[in-house]
Amino acid sequence: MEDKIIVTNRKALLKKYDTKGFATIQNALAKLIAADKTRGIKSKVVYLDDEASMKKLSGKAVISTSDCRANKEAIDAMFKSFSPHYLMILGAPDVVPHQDLDNPVYKLHGGGDDDDHAWSDLPYACDAPYSRDPARFVGPTRLVGRLPDLVSANEPSYVVSLLRAVTNYKRRSLDDYIGYFGLSAEVWQGSTKLSLDNIFGNADKLFLAPSSGRDYADKQLQSRMHFINCHGALASPEFYGEGDKGKPISLTTQAITGKIVEGTVAAVECCYGAELYDAVTLAIDQPISQSYLYHGGYGYFGSTTIAYGLAEGNGAADVICQYFLLNVLDGASIGRAALLAQQQFVERSAQMDPIDLKTLAQFCLLGDPSVHPIEVPRATDIPTGVTPAEAERFFRAERREKLKLTGAFLAKTKPTASKQVPSGKLSSTMRTALSRIAEKAQLGDKGTFAAFAVKGAKRSKGRAAKTKTPPSAPSRYLVAVKTPTKGETEEKVKRGVAVVAKELNGRIVAYRIYHQC
């Protein structure tokens, strides 16, 4: 049995790096596989476009790197054959694509956000077959991470550097991860302080943008745990703050160059915080996410598209990022930390509303999923005659079985709201409530709500059937999203607002106002 499968595309790598560059990558992969063996992990490379290899796996070889369905089906075939403990995707989306999940809140009634898709690695973590509906993937069961090269690169030094880093990585004590670097847009400091309190027990080291500026000293960035809640923008090597002084730059690729400490793990709420854009063709700095990895980061958890969080409380991006870092601190591999964060996010949501579904889809892990940043003392003694590697493989298998059962249960039982339905005639009480909520959220003339049915909600029986749904399950969600118009802002940062209202039997019983990060 193989413990870790590394999937990539041979033809895509050859096209980018030619024969010599590809051989250099293969050599780096061989060193990683040898290092994994000393750590008790049996690793294997599978080329998704190799006909002979895929035939042995009862799958079909990928012909086009942009074919999302073919890549999903090839990886599913690999899982059926190997059932690996870890899946590492090697390459940017021009080697192995993100999956093209539909964005439930795209262009709602002329408003909505601008992402036609929530580009995602989530389906690779799920047993469910290919689909564009994010509601099909609320039960992830697989540990997945992506070690990306640079989009459109023509020489392999970047990806070889990342492979070398994971080959030589080492576990550290919990003490090395107690400190943190926290950065927040000033307007979201309430939410970020709550997040830091939940993760680290304090918010004493929080830096606010704009007042903190964009350049941070080695001392400020040397902590190995990073939590960032700022604005991001499309194809931008910069994050942005927000306060009375506008939305100045809060962090850049250049600002972290040479300052990230080896072993750093980051959770980033920013819009497009994990977008793997084509920096080579655009002739701009590489994404901040990829700079983290290049300068020693072990794992980076972020969003490929526009993300949502709360200004004061916690929700959506706030909580899924918290769960990831908490699981890392608990001693999980970064792959297990990401999978647990996804499962916990679904499990602790009563229903998956459209914003929840986009959040789950868009957050992905960059890094080798088998990396364990923190060394945790073994709780169980190893019997005589059993090697540490054999014991660890057994314990890993136990954990994977539990994760698989949890994911299967969530997929079967979690109510979801991904499909729009006609709004129909609203009662005067509902119209008044929605109007007041829209006014509070400053939606203006964009306060037109789209309706989403709740699929999978339990129905009442007998005398209670007249209510159709129990009090815990909404009849539907009503959602409105406003993004700034062309004249409202000169910056490339989009300051959008989303309102999600919960309807129960003809009344609005709860609502949330989300802000685009």
| Residue whose tokens read 């550097």 | 161
Cα separations in angstroms, 218 against 71, 161, 221, 222, 291: 41, 22, 5, 6, 15
Spell out where 241-331 has E strands: 249-252, 265-268, 299-303, 308-309
SS (H, E, C) 168-236: CCCCECHHHHCCCEEEEEHHHHHHHHHHHHHHHCCCCCEEEECCCCCCCCHHHHCCCEEEEECEECCCC
Tokens of 43: 């690793």
For residues 475 and 343, the model is more confident at 343
pLDDT at res. 215:
73
pLDDT reported for residue 511 = 95
Band the pLDDT of 469: cuts 50, 70, 90.
Answer: very low
Is residue 162 classed as helix, strand or coil in its secondary structure? helix
pLDDT, residue 261, reads 94
Q: Give the lowest-confidence range in 112-116, 158-162, 251-255, 487-491.
A: 487-491
User: Domain map of the chain by residue range?
Assistant: 1-414, 420-516
Residue 172 is given by DSSP the state B
pTM reported for the whole predicted model: 0.94
Measured over the CA atoms of residue 422, residue 426, residue 432 and residue 433, the dihedral's sign is negative
Locate 269 and state its tokens.
Answer: 């709420």
pLDDT band at 502 (very low <50, low <70, confident <90, very high): very high
| Statement: residue 1 has pLDDT above 80 | no
For residue 483, what pLDDT is reported?
A: 72
pLDDT at 470: 52
Q: What is the mean pLDDT of residues 53-78?
A: 98
Token pair, residue 343, equals 């499962």
Asked if residue 302 has pLDDT above 50, the reply is: yes
Residue 206: its pLDDT value, please? Answer: 95
- Residue pLDDT, tens place only, 356-405: 999 999 999 999 999 999 998 766 667 776 777 778 888 899 999 999 99
User: What mean pLDDT comes out for the span 175-201?
Assistant: 96
Helix (H, G, I), strand (E, B) or coil at 146: strand
Share of the chain above pLDDT 70, in %: 93
What is d(CA 276, CA 260) in angstroms, rounded to the nearest whole number?
Answer: 19
Residue 224's identity, in one-letter code, is R
pLDDT exceeds cutoff 90 at 78? yes
pLDDT in tens, 91-137: 999 999 999 999 999 988 767 788 999 999 999 999 999 999 999 99
365 in Cβ contact with 146 (< 8 Å): yes
Instruction: Quote the mean pLDDT of the chain.
Output: 91
Percent residues over pLDDT 90 in the chain: 78
What's residue 383's pLDDT?
A: 73
CA distance 156 to 172: 29
Residue 445 pLDDT class (50, 70, 90 cuts) = low
